[in-house]
Amino acid sequence: MQQQGGWIQRLLQAVKGQGGMLSGLLWAVGLLSLPALAFGADVAPAAATEYRDIPYIGSRNLVWVVAQLHLLLAGFVLGVPIFAWLCEVVAWKTGEKRYDKLAKEFTKLLTSAYATTALFGGILLFLLISFYPKLMNYLTDIFFPSFIVYCLLFLVETATLYLYWYGWDAMQDGGKKKFHIFLGFMLNFFAFFIMIVPNSWATFQASPVVLAEGSDLARAWAATWNPTWWPVNIHRLIANVVLGGYICGAYAGIRYLSARNAEERDHYDWMGYVGNFIGVFGLLPLPFAGYWLMREIYQYNQQMGITLMGGFLSWLFILQAMLIGVLFLGSNYYFWLGITYRIPGSELKYRKPMLSMLIILLLCLGVWMTPHSLVASLEEARKMGGTHHPLLGVFGVMSAKMTVSNLMILVTFMSFIMYWRAGKEETAGWAKAAKAVMSSLLVLAGIAVVVLGVWGYFVPAIVRINYFSTSQVLIVLFVMLTITPLTALLLKSAKTTTEMVWGKMPPRAGYALVLNAIMVILLMTLMGYARSSSRVHWHVYGVLRDSSQYAFSPALGYAAAIMALNTFVFCMIVAFIFWVATMSDKAKAPHS
């Protein structure tokens, strides 16, 4: 009030001498406005808007769809360069030009895919700023320095991509090719950092650390190094390789189904094989990265771990088991079809092992999908003696699930090795001994995984989690890291008895490739929902509460409908990108 009185006095002094009428008018206006000044003194400044909403769709649903599409596209544009670069290196090392062609075909997608990803990223940013200003202010205050780093990374990534793509034909020979491969490496190097910077924002929301006072940089750095940052980084990196591989496979599958001549059929059959190969290559270690992430979550906050594995999200893991199980079955099925149709004569040789592997996979899937507690009526529960079935309840616990997931990885690895060795005859003198060692390793590893799994029922949970489950993982990893180089060494001097025949796969092989890609995408959407819901009613777990009307986590059925929608829209966007990128090729191709 004192200040307001002051400016009125100054104004009166300023108009002194301008005539009594003006002075009188000002007095009158001043007197009339006094009550307003009194009201103004009591009114607090308007509270900052914390949330905004849109009718019908709801702000949370819109952000959910756009964020998921952006993340899937980001996974695609980060996975494809890894895939393309690996193919280019194989072409450079082996001299097989078709790998170089494949790498180029996929790199061509990147320019339009990057633009689409950035478009969705921009839309997401605007939506977040509009709908969640409180949260965005909070995160900006902490992560401001890393926003700048992120922008700089985009600049160098874009420049590298332009050089990599537009320089492809000009850098084909000698030292230039080496430089081109170096550019591809740098493309992936920058892409990795583009992935891990925003990972730090998302993981900080799930596992925040207390921030002491300090410079902006120190606070951003401390928030970045939160407990789940690296487990998520590694998990996403591997998952992107898997996504890139399986999307390549799905594209090849669709093109194979609609191929018009033998040449196209051969090419896309081979492309499907490469895509599936890279997808499985990434898929095998992926569950271990997931296990590490869950361990870190439990170590960080046991309550969050329990919400995920034993709380309202526990049924989500039954769905996850179903999707991973179908993915393992689909990948193995594609291998088995390959052995049967591409390598004449192998069908009879491998029929029995394939049947055994199918039975093991189905049994493992059955155990993995067994819920701990059953949905039962009161009478059914009384008959069972509780919500836990006397027999099936045994399979619903983690000890059983860890065991079967490791066995499924081992079986898929066996399929992979079987396919690799089919149609070849080892000539090395030590081949017999090597094969005996490999077989023994596989059998012993399988037995050890089962024994540790059964033993796990009789020890405290902490012993099982810290020692038994970790040992199971290490055993399977050891088997893969031993047998893969041994097989590669063995096949280096092997004689090819039956040449691969491309283009003879039945149409169901194409559908198997599409199914695998859909499973991977659905898995990514499902686990995105899991990570987000594990924060329950917090924007930043335990720190910044979600006080909007959308602070609840929706039930699985509703969430699954959104996941299915996101998967479908993503597939259509990717199909559009492939169509646009290959349009000029079709125009150039001679009409048949």
Partner 1 sequence: MSEVVKLQLIGLTIVGSGVLILLLIRAQFVRVIGFVAIVLGLFTLVALSVPQMASLPPVEEKFDIATVKTPTDMATIGQKIFFSKGQCALCHTIGPSESARCPDLKGIGAKLSREFLFESLTQPQAYIYLDYRHEGQPKEYPARMPYINKNPIGLSKNEILSVIAFLQQMSGEPISVTVAELEVPGQASAAPVKVAQSGPVDVAQAH
Q: Which residues are at the interface with partner 1 (CB under 8 A)?
A: 138, 141-142, 208-213, 254, 257-258, 299-302, 307, 311-312, 315, 318-319, 322-323, 375, 511, 514-515, 518, 522, 533, 536-537, 542-543, 545-547, 551-561, 563-564, 567-568, 571, 575
Residue 507: count of CB within 10 angstroms of its CB: 10
Pick between residue 148 and residue 561 the one whose CB is nearest to partner 1.
Answer: 561
Taking the mean position of all CA atoms in its chain, how far away is CA 445? 29
Pick between residue 48 and residue 375 the one whose CB is nearest to partner 1.
Answer: 375
We find the least distance from the C-beta atom of residue 215 to partner 1, in angstroms, to be 14
CB–CB of 556/518 below 8 Å? no
Contacts (Cβ under 8 Å, ≥6 apart) of 78:
191, 192, 194, 195, 240, 244
Q: What value does the CA radius of gyration of the chain take, rounded to a whole number of Å?
A: 30
Could you tell me the end-to-end alpha-carbon distance of the chain, in angstroms, rounded to an integer? Answer: 88
We find the least distance from the C-beta atom of residue 367 to partner 1, in angstroms, to be 17
Pick between residue 171 and residue 574 the one whose CB is nearest to partner 1.
Answer: 574
Which of the 8 DSSP states describes residue 47?
P
We find the least distance from the C-beta atom of residue 482 to partner 1, in angstroms, to be 32
In 311-458 the beta strands, taken as DSSP E runs, fall at 424-425
Taking the mean position of all CA atoms in its chain, how far away is CA 91? 27
We find the least distance from the C-beta atom of residue 556 to partner 1, in angstroms, to be 5
Pick between residue 68 and residue 406 the one whose CB is nearest to partner 1.
Answer: 68
CB–CB of 334/509 below 8 Å? yes
We find the least distance from the C-beta atom of residue 52 to partner 1, in angstroms, to be 19
We find the least distance from the C-beta atom of residue 237 to partner 1, in angstroms, to be 25
Is the four-CA dihedral 388, 390, 396, 398 of positive or negative sign? positive
* CA distance to 259, 501, 571, per residue, from 254 (Å): 8, 19, 12
Pull the structure tokens for residue 50. Answer: 């914390």
Residue 417: count of CB within 10 angstroms of its CB: 18
We find the least distance from the C-beta atom of residue 185 to partner 1, in angstroms, to be 34
Pick between residue 174 and residue 557 the one whose CB is nearest to partner 1.
Answer: 557
DSSP 568-592: HHHHHHHHHHHHHHHHHHHHHSPP-
CB–CB of 228/296 below 8 Å? yes
Pull the structure tokens for residue 209. Answer: 């650390």
> Kind of pairing, strands 538-540 and 424-425?
unpaired
d(C-alpha 309, C-alpha 154), whole Å:
37
We find the least distance from the C-beta atom of residue 490 to partner 1, in angstroms, to be 38
We find the least distance from the C-beta atom of residue 316 to partner 1, in angstroms, to be 9
Give the DSSP H or E segment for 361: helix 346-368
Pull the structure tokens for residue 536. Answer: 């329950």
Closest Cα partner for 437 from 515, 359, 503, 490? Answer: 490
Pick between residue 467 and residue 552 the one whose CB is nearest to partner 1.
Answer: 552
∠499-501-506 over CA atoms, to 5°?
150
Pick between residue 46 and residue 212 the one whose CB is nearest to partner 1.
Answer: 212
We find the least distance from the C-beta atom of residue 170 to partner 1, in angstroms, to be 34
We find the least distance from the C-beta atom of residue 296 to partner 1, in angstroms, to be 10
Pick between residue 21 and residue 210 the one whose CB is nearest to partner 1.
Answer: 210
SS3 539: strand
We find the least distance from the C-beta atom of residue 536 to partner 1, in angstroms, to be 5
Closest Cα partner for 406 from 288, 298, 305, 519? Answer: 288
Pick between residue 86 and residue 304 the one whose CB is nearest to partner 1.
Answer: 304
We find the least distance from the C-beta atom of residue 209 to partner 1, in angstroms, to be 7
d(C-alpha 522, C-alpha 516), whole Å:
10
Closest Cα partner for 219 from 153, 140, 300? Answer: 140
Pick between residue 382 and residue 545 the one whose CB is nearest to partner 1.
Answer: 545
Pick between residue 50 and residue 499 the one whose CB is nearest to partner 1.
Answer: 50
Contacts (Cβ under 8 Å, ≥6 apart) of 364:
325, 404, 405, 407, 408, 411
Closest Cα partner for 337 from 256, 245, 425? Answer: 256
Q: How many residues are listed for the chain in this entry?
A: 592
Pick between residue 131 and residue 416 the one whose CB is nearest to partner 1.
Answer: 131
CB–CB of 103/88 below 8 Å? yes
Pick between residue 212 and residue 391 the one whose CB is nearest to partner 1.
Answer: 212
We find the least distance from the C-beta atom of residue 342 to partner 1, in angstroms, to be 21
Pick between residue 501 and residue 543 the one whose CB is nearest to partner 1.
Answer: 543
